[in-house]
Amino acid sequence: MSDASQGLRLYNTLTRTKADFVPIDACNVRMYVCGPTVYDFAHIGNARPVIVFDVLFRLLRHLYGETHVTYVRNITDVDDKINARALRDFGGEISAGNLSLNEAIRRVTEKTADQFHRDVATLGCLEPTVEPRATEFVEPRADGKADMITLIQSLIKRGHAYVAAGEVLFDTESMPDYGQLSKRNLDEQQAGARIAVDAHKKNPGDFVLWKLSSPEEPGWQSPWGRGRPGWHIECSAMSAAYLGEVFDIHGGGLDLIFPHHENEIAQSRCAHGTSVMANVWMHNGFLQVEGQKMSKSLGNFYSIHELLETETFGGRNWPGEVLRLAMLMTHYREPIDFSVRKLEEAENTLRKWKRAADLAPAAVGQVPVEVVEALSDDLATYAAFQVLTQLAGDAADGNQAAAALKASLLFLGFDVASAEVDEDKVAKAIANRLALIAAKNWAEADRIRDELLSQGIQLKDGKDPVTGGRITTWEIKR
Ligand SMILES: [Zn+2]
């Protein structure tokens, strides 16, 4: 193990091997994960990468320090499915001239993104460091961050893209090692799922970087006319904007390997002249429901929201943390069969763990090294959970096993604190601490802060914008 790896080993789709993870800069470990296309409720298959990479984010923060990890997860808010949804939901108002298409699209994407945020917060996921929206990265930006139009211009200038029939296309033959991630060669290439094979392409595998928009479609002015970007270019732009031309980890679902991630790699490497886009590529496995592929026609298509808030799955609703545990009981690279039985099993396990963790003393426990080691082996969550079950068995009133279990549950994103928070007590403690600070009794003030933290309550100090005086707010630390 090299020192910089902190013992972390990750499976890399690019090399098809598990290897020590060595960050480019241990002070800023950089990860990009493809986020949702916001046209409809996110389904439970979408929840899997969000939960899996949340665990990795937590682990990286634990290993390298909370402020030394940058996690970018984008929001795709330009897509033909979004246009279709806007026309379906607001078509009447648009044709009556009461609403512009852009406004209708904004309403669809904002509502859907808000729902997504509520869903994933209920699943115990931390917010990523940055959550850029594609539409803000189409045109050159005032802050000089990478944008899609400038990237496409560089690709044309470097001989990797061409204009044909109103489209800008990536020239796959201009990149001798195109296809490294999916291990497909050019002969096997099919066009991306969103684009029909057209005669204007030099090669069937060439994919769209930019396409013209009709007046009824959203569009931006560009050197190639009013149009909109292809799907893949947004992630090349937003990852470069926040993580640089080469970064550490790129993640997403297995279904994104081809064409999406393959094409992200092609665009980024050819635009920047680099040999890699991200050093490690991680992909979570597929999700089935009750042994069958999830599909609308089979009637087994469930949104996260439905499982949380309705009784459509197994005749009852399910707490977010039960969904979270059920998702993590299977290793992230394995296919998962999401079933009522699995959710029941997760719920029982969680109940036992939480009951045992309730025995923990007030002082904050350490996350046991065995839990960190298990997760550091390519996120072997099942091995980490074995440690938790062992701790639950050893837990007794006020003992260390109970404290370690509670710390582990908090670390893994399970809510063990919120049920017990007495808000009045917290408010009194905060007032008490502010009085101590005013009296310059720092040691006692810090003691109160640490005591609250040990109960999972994190204080945040800020300034009152009017008086300039210190104000303190609090939140549950996950
Ligand atoms: Zn992407």
Look up residue 478 and give its two tokens: 């996950």
Cα 302 to ligand 1 centre (Å)? 23
Residue spans of the domains in the chain: they are 10-284, 287-412, 423-476
pLDDT one-digit tens code per residue, 9-22: 999 999 999 999 99
Residues in a beta bridge with 342: none
Give the model's pLDDT for residue 305: 95
User: Is 223's pLDDT higher than 90?
Assistant: yes
Give the model's pLDDT for residue 186: 56
> Residue 60: which of 33, 90, 40, 41 has the closest Cα?
33
* Least confident range of 279-283, 400-404, 440-444: 440-444
User: Is 199's pLDDT higher than 50?
Assistant: yes
Give the model's pLDDT for residue 193: 44
pLDDT one-digit tens code per residue, 332-345: 999 999 999 999 99
Cα 434 to ligand 1 centre (Å)? 46
User: Is 210's pLDDT higher than 80?
Assistant: yes
Tell me the average pLDDT of the chain. 92
The DSSP H or E segment spanning 370 is helix 369-376
* Least confident range of 67-81, 123-137, 164-178, 355-369: 355-369
Using the structure block, give the residue that is written with the tokens 């634990």.
62
Look up residue 373 and give its two tokens: 């080691």
Cα 232 to ligand 1 centre (Å)? 6
Give the model's pLDDT for residue 1: 46
Give the model's pLDDT for residue 296: 80
Cα 382 to ligand 1 centre (Å)? 28
> What DSSP letter does each residue of 314-359 carry, written as one string?
TTS---HHHHHHHHHTS-TTS-EEE-HHHHHHHHHHHHHHHHHHTT
pLDDT band at 468 (very low <50, low <70, confident <90, very high): confident
Cα 286 to ligand 1 centre (Å)? 17
Give the model's pLDDT for residue 197: 55
Cα 90 to ligand 1 centre (Å)? 28
Cα 194 to ligand 1 centre (Å)? 14
CA 10 vs CA 126, 140, 254: distances in Å: 21, 35, 16
User: Which own/partner contact pairs does 78-87 have at CB distance under 8 Å and 24+ positions apart?
Assistant: 78/134, 78/135, 78/138, 78/218, 78/228, 78/229, 78/234, 79/37, 79/39, 79/231, 80/194, 81/37, 81/39, 81/40, 82/37, 82/38, 82/39, 82/108, 82/109, 83/217, 83/218, 84/39, 85/39, 85/40
User: Is 177's pLDDT higher than 80?
Assistant: yes
Based on the number of CB atoms within 10 Å of its own CB, is 178 exposed (0-12), middle (13-18) or buried (19 or more)? buried
**Full-model pTM:** 0.85
Cα 75 to ligand 1 centre (Å)? 9
Spell 296-321 as b/e; 16+ CB within 10 A means b.
Answer: eeeebebbbbbbbeeeebeeeebbbb
- Tabulate helix, strand, coil % of the chain (nearest 5): 45, 15, 40
296 or 186: which leads in pLDDT: 296
Cα 237 to ligand 1 centre (Å)? 10
Q: What is the spatial distance between Cα 24 and Cα 246, in angstroms, rounded to a whole number? A: 9
User: Is 181's pLDDT higher than 70?
Assistant: yes
* Least confident range of 128-137, 143-152, 410-419: 410-419
Give the model's pLDDT for residue 226: 96
Cα 34 to ligand 1 centre (Å)? 4
pLDDT band at 194 (very low <50, low <70, confident <90, very high): very low
Residue 34 assigned to a binding site: yes
User: Is 454's pLDDT higher than 80?
Assistant: no
Cα 33 to ligand 1 centre (Å)? 7
3-state secondary structure of 43: strand
Cα 303 to ligand 1 centre (Å)? 21
Using the structure block, give the residue that is written with the tokens 């009085």.
435
> What's the mean pLDDT in 466-471?
82
pLDDT one-digit tens code per residue, 366-399: 999 999 999 999 999 999 999 999 999 999 999 9
Residues in a beta bridge with 168: 163, 210
Give the model's pLDDT for residue 239: 98
Cα 235 to ligand 1 centre (Å)? 5
Cα 145 to ligand 1 centre (Å)? 18
Cα 219 to ligand 1 centre (Å)? 20
Strand order in the sheet with 278-284: 69-73, 29-33, 247-253, 278-284
3-state secondary structure of 413: coil
Give the model's pLDDT for residue 420: 54
User: Is 167's pLDDT higher than 90?
Assistant: yes
Residue 296 assigned to a binding site: yes
The CATH architecture to which 10-284 belongs is 3-Layer(aba) Sandwich (3.40)
Cα 73 to ligand 1 centre (Å)? 9
Residue 235 assigned to a binding site: yes
CA 458 vs CA 101, 160, 189, 228, 332: distances in Å: 43, 50, 51, 43, 30
Q: What is the spatial distance between Cα 79 and Cα 194, in angstroms, rounded to a whole number? A: 10
SS (HEC) of 231-289: CCHHHHHHHHHHHCCCEEEEEEEHHHHHHHHHHHHHHHHHHHCCCCCEEEEEEECCEEE
Give the model's pLDDT for residue 418: 43
pLDDT one-digit tens code per residue, 57-109: 999 999 999 999 999 999 999 999 999 999 999 999 999 999 988 899 999 99
pLDDT band at 419 (very low <50, low <70, confident <90, very high): very low
Give the model's pLDDT for residue 462: 85
Report percent pLDDT > 70 for the chain.
94
Which residues make Cβ contacts (< 8 Å) with residue 276, sequence separation at least 6? 14, 246, 265, 269
Cα 275 to ligand 1 centre (Å)? 19
> What's the mean pLDDT in 419-436?
82
Residue 264 assigned to a binding site: yes
Cα 230 to ligand 1 centre (Å)? 11
Q: Which residues surround ligand 1, an ion (CB under 5 A)?
A: 34, 235
Cα 142 to ligand 1 centre (Å)? 23
SS (HEC) of 121-152: HHCCCCCCCECCEHHHHCCCCCCCCCCHHHHH
Cα 254 to ligand 1 centre (Å)? 12
